[in-house]
Amino acid sequence: MEQWSNETAEAKAWFESLRDRICAEFEAIEREAGSDASFDYAPWKRVEDGNDNPGGGVRGVMKGSVFEKVGVNVSTVHGNFAPEFAASVNGASAESPGFTATGISLVAHMANPHVPAVHMNCRFLTTGKAWFGGGADLNPPIPYEEDTADFHAALRASCAKHNPTYYERFSKWADDYFYIPHRGCHRGVGGIFYDHLECTDEAAFERNLAFTKDVGEAFLDIFPRIVRRQMDSVFDEADKNVQLEWRGRYAEFNLVYDRGTLFGLKTGGNIDAILMSLPPEAVWR
């Protein structure tokens, strides 16, 4: 893992720059709505017995008039997986449980039911192997074809710059992954999801980092445009009830099936940052 320390630092720096630009854009949207809401940032440190450098991160949360609750987390952590968990992680094992992980994770829950919620994350991990993963997916309580088409078009374009097979493969992966088996439905209208883009050498690292950057840039371009399109839409109590019930499904997926939630809990992450993805309000009927 030591051999990838420079690459981890490079990925971390970019994730932080993406966070800063996303948060600035979201705050600008709040200003356009007449709100002075801004992100509150809380640094946290990971704790691991016998580890003098376990890492940590910064959790950023904003609660405004457009973004009812949005969290943007960046973390860089180092340590050892628990033996029983190590076997489930690419390149790790009970005999070789060491890891380093850096990444950005974002979840936005919107005040207006006509504005879609969204999830985005990008990450770089090293165990006995090194790889990138990530993606973005749109989660509207009330779907609009134009929003869905534009979101997918942005991600399709980011994929096409790197590999003609990426979009088809990764959009299907998102459809398969963001599915709630016990409800028999998808969490949203999809996007892309990818994992284990392995970096066997410096050239592979640069290729996969470039792709991951384009995914992040595509998100930063398209999601604010969708928000601005829908944020002044009129909604009523029935629309809000649809949103609240849909949020219950979202919470179920994140607590039962989401691999990022499990990874954070299994590696001693910050609980508030891990559960930041949960909606501020939801109902079950």
List residues with catalytic annotation: 119
The secondary structure of 254-271 as a DSSP string is: HHHT-HHHHHHHHTT--H
Give CA–CA dist 161/36, Å, rounded: 38
- In a 3-state reduction of DSSP, which class is residue 70? strand
Give CA–CA dist 242/142, Å, rounded: 8
Tokens of 51: 């580890």
SS (H, E, C) 138-202: EECCCCCHHHHHHHHHHHHHHHHCCCCCHHHHHHHHHHHHCEECCCCEECCCEEEEEEEEECCCH
Give CA–CA dist 96/98, Å, rounded: 6
Backbone angles phi, psi at 147, to 5 degrees: -65, -45
Give CA–CA dist 28/34, Å, rounded: 10
Backbone angles phi, psi at 135, to 5 degrees: 140, -175
* Number of alpha helices (DSSP H) and beta strands (DSSP E) in the chain: 8, 9
The neighbour count for residue 121, using CB atoms within 10 Å, is 22
